[in-house]
Amino acid sequence: MKFSNFLFPESQTPEDDFAIIEESLREAELSEELGYDVVWLAEHHFDGGCAYVDPTTFAAAIAARTKKIKIGFAVAQMALHHPIRFAEQIALVDNISKGRMIVGVGRGTAYNFYEFRGFGINPDEAHDMLLEVEDILVKAWTTKDYKHDGKYWQLELPVLRPQVYQKPHPPMIRACSGLESTLEMAREGRPFMMNVQSDAVTVERMDQYKATMSEAGHSDETVARNVADSWVWRNIFVAETDAEAEAVGIPYFKGMRAYLQTNRDRMNTTAELKAQASGAVGAARNSLEHGIITGSPETVCERLQKVNGTGVGGVIIHFRLGAMPYDVAANSLRLFAEKVAPNFRDSGA
């Protein structure tokens, strides 16, 4: 099982932005030093929930400061990007990084309606825009004299320059919030990223994903490859003891969830808040039982056993929770790399 660091740094005031962006670059370098497989980047706007805002620009900075670690998006919000501009940016960073890009895509936030408004996008169209962008990206990276006449974009592209470093193109993976979108990926024979879920839901969903892929006629080899290329998200804080991990990690986790909700309450309209309330607003990710794993290295190993048992390829780990200071998060990052990860990589736990 692979382990990765989800760089999702909160900055509560504009005055904090510079320092937190700098610390996030240091955290990416530390992640490579400690042997993590991927550093994942988020995309959120206008609220300080993700200090660096734009994952494509930040990916270029990380690519220039690292040599081996892969750089993925979890995720880029496709409704907020022009597909050809995005295709060019990915091709450039793929060259700068010498083929370390993983293109994680999604429809966009399910809760921060103000992000769509800021870009003049109708959130009701975001999913259809995602589907059209995915098709454009693959063809832009692989086709000369490409023409596209779609619902949202009409394009004529002689040839994309620079060409992507990875052939035929960088791996593309879609984030799935619900079961049906997960099964859609299964039927298409594609890997996916799962947001924070309980262990029980994770096991059940992975079983359904594998079964649906097989029922759709995909080979055992294809099923195994896609499971190995799929990822699940967990918030984790490691300390020397369970008591220390709970005492330090849980308040930052609670503060992070409260800050996100405060922003939504402040910036979403009344109608948008009602629409948000009508759906399942991240029940697992909000709860202490399912939303965060805290503990000593031994406890964290035990908590990850069920995830490991699903066969999923990797865990996207959000270490720096909310307003957690850099040094505190870095210690958790180091403890996990040195005392948790080897149990899964070396002994097949």
DSSP 294-322: EE-HHHHHHHTHHHHHTT-SEEEEE-S-T
pLDDT computed for residue 345 by the predictor: 81
Using a pLDDT cut of 90, give the percent of the chain over it: 94
Q: Residue 278 pLDDT more than 90?
A: no
Task: Summarize pLDDT for 89-106 with one digit per residue, the tens.
Answer: 999 999 999 999 999 999
Question: In the 8-state DSSP scheme, what is residue 217?
Answer: T
CATH class of the region 2-345: alpha beta
Contact 9, 47 (CB under 8 A): no
pLDDT computed for residue 279 by the predictor: 53
Element holding 278 (H helix, E strand): none
Chain-wide mean pLDDT for the chain?
Answer: 96
| Amino acid symbol at 105 | V
Contact 8, 39 (CB under 8 A): no
Task: Report the C-alpha gap between 8 and 52 in whole angstroms.
Answer: 9
Secondary structure in 3-state letters for 20-71: HHHHHHHHHHHHHHCCCCEEEECCCCCCCCCCCCCHHHHHHHHHHHCCCCEE
pLDDT computed for residue 177 by the predictor: 87
pLDDT computed for residue 347 by the predictor: 45
**pLDDT mean over 247-267:** 97
pLDDT band at 274 (very low <50, low <70, confident <90, very high): confident
pLDDT computed for residue 179 by the predictor: 95
3-state DSSP helix/strand/coil percent for the chain, to nearest 5? Answer: 55, 15, 30
**pLDDT mean over 263-281:** 82
Task: Report the C-alpha gap between 203 and 220 in whole angstroms.
Answer: 19
Residue of 289, 236, 285, 294 whose CA lies nearest to 261: 285
pLDDT computed for residue 348 by the predictor: 44
Contact 292, 335 (CB under 8 A): no
Q: In sequence order, which residues have a C-beta less than 8 Å from that of residue 148 and are 6 or more positions away?
A: 135, 136, 139, 154, 155, 157
Task: Summarize pLDDT for 187-211 with one digit per residue, the tens.
Answer: 999 999 999 999 999 999 999 999 9
Task: Report the C-alpha gap between 330 and 328 in whole angstroms.
Answer: 5
pLDDT band at 75 (very low <50, low <70, confident <90, very high): very high
Q: Which two tokens stand for residue 340?
A: 């948790």
> What is the pTM for the complete model shown?
0.96
Q: Residue 186 pLDDT more than 80?
A: yes
pLDDT computed for residue 284 by the predictor: 86
Count of residues for the chain?
349
- CA 292 to chain centroid: 16
